[in-house]
Amino acid sequence: MRIALCNTLYVTPEAPFMFGGAEVLVRQLAEALVAAGDEVIALRVALDGQARSEIVNGVTVHFLPIDNLFPPFEDKRNALQRLAWHAIDDRWRAPRGLRQILADFRPDVLHSHTLNGLSADVWRVAHGLGIPVVHTLHDYYLSCPRCSRFKDGVACEQTCGSCGLLTTQRRQRAQKLDAVTSVSEKTLDIHRCTGALSAQTPTYVVRNIPNPEVQLAPPLPYEGVLKVGYIGRFAEEKGVQMLIEAIGRLPAEAIELKLAGRVNREEQARLTALAPKARLEFLGFVDPKGFYEGVHMTVAPSLWHEPAGLVVQDSLVAGRPVLCTDRGGMQESIEPGVTGWVVEATAAALAAQLERLIVDPVRIDQAYRVLSGLEASRRRFPDLVREYRDIYVGLSRKAA
């Protein structure tokens, strides 16, 4: 098959910047499809505004300049500039050059993922060329210009007026999608409730697969200190502050928190001040394998309705049970009380569960035993590739 993948970012040697888990998944998917004999191109934003192509492991990556005020991920802009950017992103046309690339490649299907900057107008361009489109829901781009449905420290249960206005065009365009997949049931349900999807559009839940490089880690001996890990971004909606506040409520000699991810010194100092007596270790950007080997368990303290959380999957594969909040789709990967624990999104609830584990650390060993026993039956990346490819084949046959 000939498959075009579309995502805001696609990591290459010349463009290594990475923001979230979607670009990791898209690159792994692209390379797996090439290995299976398919022809694949990837379409992404040119953050430097320069149109070009780069071939990476058999995938031709097209960098597309966007017609907007500035590239995505530029934080140093005022509120009015950001508002204008989101309005343009919703109403403007797809990047120049996209139509010609698709016309030349003639893909059997276009599979879109995150679209910040590229705009949902890519779907109109594909349909104009007779190319069926499947879109994967990794975030809330269709109902929230920030993609998070999170405001003023709280997860949004309703779409606010401004978000509705700034996502009008993309929701209308989504009505014509040929298929939609989601990384969790919760994320799909939220999109249905917002009216972003047509009732006639076929939908599928294709759950994320852990990073293939993460393997079952050996058990970490417990020596009187519960070693807890957090790995990911330090954005407000991720709940890192709430987690540190929870750690600060517990005896410092009984628990240690290792935080992996990029964070500047100012933010590190601010977070440390929230629990000055707590044992916090900021690791920076680390190799996941070594990170999981150094902790007994991990915490995913999200405040927003996180669609799935690849780090939850990775942690479970590494044999590290997960304590997560009851927000979004993360809890769908956990069997409460067996492979992890699910609590309310409050510092008090996190602290209470961690205290129970400090008192009875055998629970962590029991969870490790269960997780190590699931190794043989776990879904692998080829399973995910097969699920997506079955959708591609079905769409291409309908279009023929």
Secondary structure (DSSP) of 318-365: TT--EEEESSTTGGGG--BTTTEEEE-SSHHHHHHHHHHHHH-THHHH
pLDDT less than 50: residues of the chain: none
DSSP 222: P
CATH of domain 2-209+380-399: 3.40.50.2000
Give the tokens for residue 383. 């399973």
Contact status, residue 75 vs residue 19, Cβ threshold 8 Å: no
Please state, in angstroms and rounded to a whole number, the distance separating the CA atoms of residues 125 and 200.
Answer: 21
Q: Identify the residue whose tokens are 């996190």.
A: 350
Instruction: Give the number of other CB atoms < 10 A from CB of residue 195.
Output: 15
Can you give the pLDDT at residue 212?
A: 80
Hey, do 2-209+380-399 and 226-377 end up sharing a CATH topology, with the first three levels equal? yes
Can you give the pLDDT at residue 76?
A: 67
Nearest partner of 135 among 22, 264, 275, judged by Cα: 22
Please state, in angstroms and rounded to a whole number, the distance separating the CA atoms of residues 229 and 247.
Answer: 11
Can you give the pLDDT at residue 358?
A: 97
DSSP 317: H
What is the domain partition of the chain in residue ranges? 2-209+380-399, 226-377
Tally the residues of the chain.
400
CATH 3.40.50.2000 for domain 226-377: yes
Beta strands, E only, the chain: 2-6, 39-45, 52-56, 59-64, 109-112, 133-137, 150-151, 154-155, 179-182, 203-205, 226-231, 255-260, 279-284, 297-300, 322-325, 340-343
In DSSP terms, which residues pair with 53 in a beta bridge? Answer: 62
DSSP 236: G
Instruction: Give the number of other CB atoms < 10 A from CB of residue 224.
Output: 8
